[in-house]
Amino acid sequence: MFLPVATSYPMVSYAFLKLTDFRRSLTRPLRRRQSLALVLVLGPPLLWIVGLYVLPLTFLFLYSFWQVIGFNVEAHWTLDNYRQIFAEPVWLQILLRTVVMATLVTVSAIALALPLAYFLVRYTTRWRNLLYLAVLVPLWSSYLVRVFAWKTILGSDGVLNTFLLDAHVIHQPVEAFLYSNYAVFITLLHVWLPYMVLPVYAAIDRIPPSLFEASSDLGARGWRTMRSVVWPLAFPGIMAGSIFVFSLTMGDFITPQLMGNGSQFVGNVIADQFGVAFNYPFGAALSTLPLVVLAVFLTVSRRFGALEAL
């Protein structure tokens, strides 16, 4: 649109040329020195990572060696916070309970996601995108909505109790459906399941279909094909999903609060130290526990090449 104007008026086109010159002069140092361009491109994300991730974590770690004196956190170096963790068995029990919960949720998610993803890849064509979307959609709704959805299912006036009462299986609402570790488990499994299905689906989708046929052709039934072909080839995806589900469960403190029977998980006690007790140093020391567990888990996963599949 502007080009005809520019060419019909020499002055304008001159100005246009000047502008290009100006632009060139701006980018000249960039073209001359690639390192400068690199800094400009990588700088913002690097700042973001350092400023919003590395620094806070470092402060958190430093806090764990400080102490509360009066009502203030003071930089008096001490190992008391860690001593306290190992002195009272309750903290390690809580850690163990959390790890067991995270492991159960992860293993169950694998058990559900693997056949589901396999089915989607192998046996659906027309419905595939719709079913895939059905896995995805919960991720677009709020985490709290999904947790509360389970309250309406498991509560004493909930769907499950009402159904069982109507079917005369029970005569009084079962309170234990809600406010139990089972409820925490089911809710977490439901909330984090998509994070397992997506990488597992991607991994199985990458397996050439002829490998399934070859396995069957060589005499293997479904289970054998699952064990010898699908599992090993989808394993990086399974590990990738496990990292998601395991770490998300390890850090969760809202579901145990809303659905649990009061048993503490690591996330709860950390939140309590920061939010209720205002003991930041002890909270920081507790925070290192799941971090260590996750570091171990990630190191092991790396061995299996799971990080490449992310």
Partner 1 sequence: MTGLPAVDATDGRSARSGSTLNPESTPSDVRLDGVCKQFGTVWALKPTSLDIARGEFFSLLGASGSGKTTTLRIIAGFERPTAGRVFLRERDVTSSAPYERNVNTVFQDYALFPHMSVGGNVGYGLRVRREKRDEIARRVARALDLVRLSGYEHRRPSQLSGGQRQRVALARALINAPGLLLLDEPLGALDLKLRREMQFELKRIQIDVGITFLYVTHDQEEAMSMSDRVAVMSDGRIVQIGAPTDVYERPANAFVAGFVGTSNVLQGRVVAHDASTYQLDVPDFGIVSVSRVPGVTELDELLIAIRPEKITILVPSDDGRIENTVVGRIVTASYAGAFTRYGISVGPHELAVVEQNMGSGPSWRLGEEVRLAWSSETNHILPGSEKDLQHGTEEASASGRGI
- Note whether 154 and 178 are within 8 A (CB): yes
User: Within 10 Å of residue 114's Cβ, how many Cβ atoms?
Assistant: 23
Which residues of this chain interact with partner 1, rule CB under 8 A? 208, 210-211, 213-221, 224, 228-229, 232-233
- Note whether 161 and 172 are within 8 A (CB): no
| Between 215 and 273, CB nearer to partner 1 | 215
Going from the C-alpha of 133 to that of each of 103, 137, 221, the distances in angstroms are 27, 6, 30
| Between 171 and 221, CB nearer to partner 1 | 221
| Between 175 and 213, CB nearer to partner 1 | 213
CB of 231 to partner 1, least distance (A): 10
Backbone φ, ψ for residue 136 (5° rounding): -75, -40
| Between 117 and 259, CB nearer to partner 1 | 117
CB of 155 to partner 1, least distance (A): 46
The closest alpha carbon to 222, from 121, 110, 118, 67, belongs to 118
CB of 203 to partner 1, least distance (A): 12
CB of 102 to partner 1, least distance (A): 28
| Between 218 and 292, CB nearer to partner 1 | 218
CB of 222 to partner 1, least distance (A): 9
